[in-house]
Each structure stands twice: as structure tokens, then as C-alpha cells.
Chain A
Amino acid sequence: MDFSVFFQRAVMQGIPLLYGSTGEIITEKSGHLNLGIPGIMYVGGISGVIGAFVYQNSAGAGGMNPFLAVFIPFICSVLGSLIMGLIYAFLTVTLRANQNVTGLALTTFGVGVGNFFGGYLIKLSNADIPSIDITPTSIFFKKTLPFAEDLGWFGKMFFSYTFMVYLAIIIALIAAYVLKKTRVGLHLRAVGENPATADAAGINVNRYKYSAICTGSVIAGIGGLYYVVDYIGSWSNDGFGDRGWLAIALVIFAIWRPHLAIPGSIVFGGLYILFQYIRSDDLAAQEIFKMAPYIVTIIVLIFISLRKKRENQPPQALGTSYFREDR
């Protein structure tokens, strides 16, 4: 087994999780546990696919403008996941609904939306296999750095990726910096730890919550887009699988720090594809190895609750809604 190939595949498999968990970390820092992330990532994916499908059919494979081919799916994905984020924020912040219930409902809704429009487009495209081919768009997303080939294993491990991989890492690093070093990050963390105190200090709690939830949803939605147009290059219903839940698991693994989610996502990506390196005829053992990411998450969860280090705990007000007159 060539380690550089394994590493490369682990990174590419981990990137949707990195987008998802960066988004979820930002959301959770505002005190909102968004279990709708799996649904939001589905919607992010399908919105991008719709954009790509419409553009590539109207422009024709020959006449596609590289910039528009990337820009249109991207902006569609951002809009789709933003709408989902706004629904969640409106229900949980403004209407103070229960976060777990809202999130789960949003996941049902989002997966339904993804598969419905997916099925609709599949019917439109009249393909033999039940998937939407967006290869013409995918080509533009899959442009890689030209010099990676010349650098051997080193190039393969670090420079062979598409721009969305580097974008995910940059977003995670920016999120880590903003949360840790800036005033905005400090305010956001205050809102997530103790909204009443933050409110008393003159921070606009609802505005921070709305912004964090919407930013988080958009980032997570881009993860769905990455998986469909870049990693796979086609949409098939339920193809995204349980990656949304894994992204939520990764938040714990990274102990609520976006920069730790970067190596974390590679570890999860590796664990996720580990089963493919078991003897390929032993399907039973493969099923057992597919448990790995979840077991690791549980161990981390127990470990952080055991050590009780204050900086490693979830935001204190996580899961509770804030009502100013309720003190």
C-alpha cells in the first residue's frame, strides 16, 4: 500500500467533513447545536447541482465559461444553504424553539429536498443510471496545480488537490483565528457561554446568533457542494450518506477548534476509507471497520468529559435558547 495515495484519498474524503464541522463549530460557539447540518449539506449539494445542470445545459459543453461554471454552482449552493440556515435561526433564535427538534426536522426536510430535486433532475436527464452527470462542470472544479506531478510523493500529498480543498483549510484557519484572536470571536464565544452576561455587556445577542448560524450553514453547505461537483462529479440520491453526522462528530474530535478539525478531518477521512484496505472479499470485517470514526468520537467525548479541562468543554449555553426576560 502506497502511503501517499492513502493520505491523498483520506484528505479528499475528509474535506466535506472539514467544511461541515467548521460550520458547525461556528454555530455551536453561538450556543446552538445544529443537528440540521446533514440536511443543510444535502441542500448545499443539490443547489449546486441544479446550478451546474442549468448552466451546462444552456451553455452547451463547448461554450462553458470557466469562471461561470464554477461561480454559478457555488452561488447556488451558498443561497440554498443560507435559506436553510435562516429557517433554523428564525425558529431557534427568534421563536426560541427546541434546537434538537428543529435540527432533526431540518435534516428530514433537507434530505427530502435533496433527493426530490435529485430525482426530478435524474428523470429530466434520461440517463441509464440513476444519477445526474455534471462532468462538464466538474472538470472546471477539478483543476489542480500543474507542478504537483513533478514533485513525486511530496507533491502528491500536499499539492495535488483541487482549489476547494485548499479553500476548506483556509476557511478553517480563518475561523480559528477569528474565534480566538478577534473581538468578534470573543463576543461570539461570550454569547455561546453565557448570553445573559453578553447581553448585559452590550453585545447584540440575536445578531451574533443569526450571523453565526447563517455563516456556519453556508460553510457546511459548501461541503455538500464539494462532495458532489468536485469529489464525485455526479449526483445520486442518498449518495452523500451519513457524512453530515460525521461532521458533527468531528466537532467533538476537534474539541470545538476549527484548526484542529483540519488534521481531524484527515484522520476521519482515513478511518472512513480504512475498510477498503481490508481484504476485499471479507465484507463482514469491512462492516466492523466502518464503525471506526464513531467509536473514536465516543472515546474522545468520554475523554474530554473525564479531564474536565475548562477550555475543552462545549460552550456552556449550548442547546438552550435565550430569553432576555427569563432571568
Chain B
Amino acid sequence: MNENIKAASSKKHEPRFHIVKRDQMKWQKAWAIRFVAIVSALLFSALITVLLTGVDPIKFFSALVDGAFGTSRRRWLLIYETSILLCVALALTPAFKMRFWNTGGEGQVLIGGMATAACMILLGDKLPTPLLFLVMIVASVAAGAIWAVIPAFFKAIWNTNETLFTLMMNYIAIQLVGYFCQIWATPKGSGTIGIIPNGQFPALFGNQYLLNVIVVVALTAFMFVYLKYSKHGYEISVVGESENTARYIGVNVKKVIVRTVALSGAICGMVGLLLVAGTEHSITKNTAGGRGFTAIIVSWMAKFNPLYMVFSALLIVFMDRGAKQVTTLLKLNDSFSEIITGILILFIIGCEFFINYKIASKSHKEDKN
């Protein structure tokens, strides 16, 4: 197919094929194409695994499913990981819809987590628990929002490139966490903050992960309504489509950019809160764990629709956890799951082409256009 396009761009011969942009494709058909892409990615991953290790492909797939759903603990971990990833993806979505490429989710999550950890360490034994929780929530949300607003401010005023700015902010956040890990290390000199005793969120109904799930369900609903039915959501879409149109109809573009990105960062900060106070009860440079980057892919795969995002997040986490099981089974190393996840994402990215464009042969050209 590559040759066809190359042929289409060469000027010597009349091209036999050319590419046409589709009108809106029927959603059933679009999802069928995505389904085919996912299945092909799975088959391709299985093929690679078989070639590398000589394992039976059936064993590959059963391990994949077993790793994700095998035990009650694995199912809960799957739900938990999905909820966290979904939360970050939801956070980034309003910014993406506005065409503001927030690649700084990683840093915003970390800085929110850092603010939470700071409250837990410094105020943990000084405040009553409900007040401490309140301070933690405010601090983490504010920290995430500030971390995101800094690049947004420069984008709004001087049109500074936000992709690269937010990317750099990640590493500053990582080093800042590194700094505090040294300052507050327990035991001194170990370079790690151990389990922080105060300010841990209680386990709801004896389940450590349930709180995250409730928060993320509420957030998904909120984000869906916010983007689809609120005035803010409308302004975000207009600015994303065309800043000039937005200005023409009287939208204050600068204000919308800063406000939307602040919201994006605030939710990321809240994810930091959930991670640190809810499950990990500590913080390391690796607490965000690359979710800030994976979430970009999750959000994009779902076409920035919060409801679809539930599925794209689940798919990525399923692949990741399943592939980890394949890794253990075959005694490979952990990075194998990154390869498999990478293959899946690349296939899905590729298949979007067939949803947005079609390849028309020359004879069809006249009657279609």
C-alpha cells in the first residue's frame, strides 16, 4: 500500500490510486476497524513471542488473560490501575481538546503527590485527621494546577511552545521529588521516604482501591458533561478548532487557555493525592510511573471522549498486566510488556488512517467527488 501512495505523489505517471478524506464514518464500521487493528496487534505480538521463545501461542493468550483476570487480587489491580490511568487521561483531555499538548501530566501528578506527602509529613501529627485531609486535598490540587499554569501562562501571553515546556516541567518535578526524598529520608541518608504513618486515606469497606474507583467514576461523568454540555466545554472546542473564530465570537482565548490547563493540572494533582495518600503512602521519583505519557495515548485513542476512554484505558492496562504475566511465565524480563503495549498502540495509531481516509482507485474518482 505504501507503493500506492508513493505512486500517488510522483508526477511522471498518472496515479492509479489516490487518497480521499472520508466524511464521518459510521461508528459501527469505525469500531470494527479498530477491533481488527487490536486483533492484528495481538496476533502480531503472539507471533513475535513465538518467534523469540518458541512458546505455544495458545499459552501466550491464556497467560495474557490470566495475568489480567486470573485471581481476585489481579482483577482489583486491573481495576485500580485502569482507574488511575483513566483519571490522568481525563485530566489531560480538556487541554488536548483545546489543542494544548500537555505532555506534562507526569510532572503534574508527581508535584500533586509531593504536596500531599509534604502535608502528611509536616502536618501529620499536628492537625486532626479531617482537617489534615482537607489541607492535603487543597495542597495537591493547587500544586498540580500551578505546575500546569506556568506553561499555560507563557503559551497564552507569548505563544511559547507548550509541548516542550510541559515536557521539561516533568523533569524539574522529578528532581524536586528527588530533593525532598533526600531531605525527608527515613532513615536519614537512605534517599527514600518510607511509609508515612499519618494522613493515609482509610480503606472503604475494607478495600484499599474502592475510593479511587468511586472518584474516577464521578470524574468521568463530570468530564463528559463538562465537555459536552457546559459553556466552558463549548469554548474549549471552539478554541481548539480555530483561535481566530474563537476571538471573533468574543471568547477570551487567553483566559480559556489558562483556565482549562489549570483544570487539567488540578486533576493531575488530585491523582497524585490518590496515589500517595490512597495506596502508596510514600513517594518516589517513580510514583507517576509513566502514566502521564500513557494517558496521552489513552485520551487520543478515545478521540477525547471521556466514555470511550474507559475502554481505551482498560485495554492498555489489560495488555500491560497480561503481558507481565506472559513475562513471568516465559521467564523473560519485564520490558517485554512494554514491547507488547507499544505494538498495540502503534497498530491502533495506524488504523486511524483507514477510518479518516479511503484509498480510491481512479475509476471511482469522478462519481465520488
Interface residues of A (CB under 8 A from B): 33, 35, 87, 90-91, 94-98, 100-102, 104-116, 118-120, 123, 202, 204-207, 237, 242, 245, 248-249, 252, 283-284, 287-288, 290-291, 294-295, 297-298, 301-302, 305-306, 308, 314, 319, 323-326
Whether B129 sits at the interface, judged by CB under 8 Å, is no
Whether B31 sits at the interface, judged by CB under 8 Å, is no
Whether B217 sits at the interface, judged by CB under 8 Å, is no
User: For the complex, what is the distance from the CA of A298 to the CA of B290, rounded to whole Å?
Assistant: 21
In the complex, chain B residues whose CB is within 8 Å of the CB of A325: 19-21
Question: Can you sample 13 A-B contacts with CB below 8 Å?
Answer: A90-B350, A91-B349, A97-B353, A98-B349, A100-B296, A105-B297, A106-B346, A112-B335, A112-B338, A115-B335, A252-B161, A284-B183, A298-B172
Given A111-B335, A112-B338: A206 and B9 interface contact (C-beta under 8 Å): yes
Kindly identify which residue among B11, B165, B293, B352 contacts A104, using a CB–CB cutoff of 8 Å: B293
Interface contact B296-A104, CB-CB below 8 Å: yes
Whether B159 sits at the interface, judged by CB under 8 Å, is yes
Interchain nearest-CB distance for A137 vs B (Å): 23
Interchain nearest-CB distance for B186 vs A (Å): 14
Contact string, B21-35, partner A, CB cutoff 8 A, digits 1/0?
Answer: 100000000000000
User: For the complex, what is the distance from the CA of A207 to the CA of B189, rounded to whole Å?
Assistant: 55
Interface contact A302-B21, CB-CB below 8 Å: no
In the complex, chain A residues whose CB is within 8 Å of the CB of B103: 35, 100, 104
In the complex, chain A residues whose CB is within 8 Å of the CB of B179: 284, 287-288
Interface contact A248-B164, CB-CB below 8 Å: yes
Question: Main SS of chain A's interface residues?
Answer: helix
Interchain nearest-CB distance for B8 vs A (Å): 9
Top 4 A-B residue pairs of the complex, sorted by shortest distance between their CB atoms: A109-B342, A112-B338, A119-B333, A115-B335
Which partner residue on chain A sits nearest B99 by CB separation?
A: A319
In the complex, chain B residues whose CB is within 8 Å of the CB of A101: 296-297, 300, 345, 349
* Total chain B interface residues with beta-carbon distance under 8 A: 58
Given A98-B300, A116-B332, A325-B21: A109 and B338 interface contact (C-beta under 8 Å): yes
Interface contact A294-B296, CB-CB below 8 Å: no
Interface contact B5-A94, CB-CB below 8 Å: yes
Kindly identify which residue among B9, B101, B352 contacts A205, using a CB–CB cutoff of 8 Å: B9
Kindly identify which residue among A100, A107, A202, A294 contacts B11, using a CB–CB cutoff of 8 Å: A202
Interface residues of B (CB under 8 A from A): 2, 5-6, 9-11, 19-21, 101, 103, 154, 158-161, 163-165, 167-169, 171-172, 175-176, 178-179, 181-183, 189, 191, 290, 293-294, 296-297, 300, 332-339, 341-343, 345-346, 349-350, 352-353, 356-357
Interface contact B338-A204, CB-CB below 8 Å: no
User: For the complex, what is the distance from the CA of A245 to the CA of B163, rounded to whole Å?
Assistant: 12
In the complex, chain B residues whose CB is within 8 Å of the CB of A118: 335
In the complex, chain B residues whose CB is within 8 Å of the CB of A204: 9-11
User: For the complex, what is the distance from the CA of A290 to the CA of B20, rounded to whole Å?
Assistant: 49
In the complex, chain A residues whose CB is within 8 Å of the CB of B296: 100-101, 104
In the complex, chain A residues whose CB is within 8 Å of the CB of B159: 305
Interface contact A294-B154, CB-CB below 8 Å: no
Which partner residue on chain A sits nearest B335 by CB separation?
A: A115
User: For the complex, what is the distance from the CA of A21 to the CA of B328, rounded to whole Å?
Assistant: 37
User: For the complex, what is the distance from the CA of A287 to the CA of B284, rounded to whole Å?
Assistant: 13
Interface contact B168-A306, CB-CB below 8 Å: no
In the complex, chain A residues whose CB is within 8 Å of the CB of B163: 33, 35, 100, 319
Given contacts A95-B350, A112-B336, 11 further A-B pairs with CB under 8 A are A91-B346, A94-B5, A106-B346, A109-B346, A113-B339, A116-B339, A283-B189, A290-B178, A294-B168, A302-B154, A323-B357
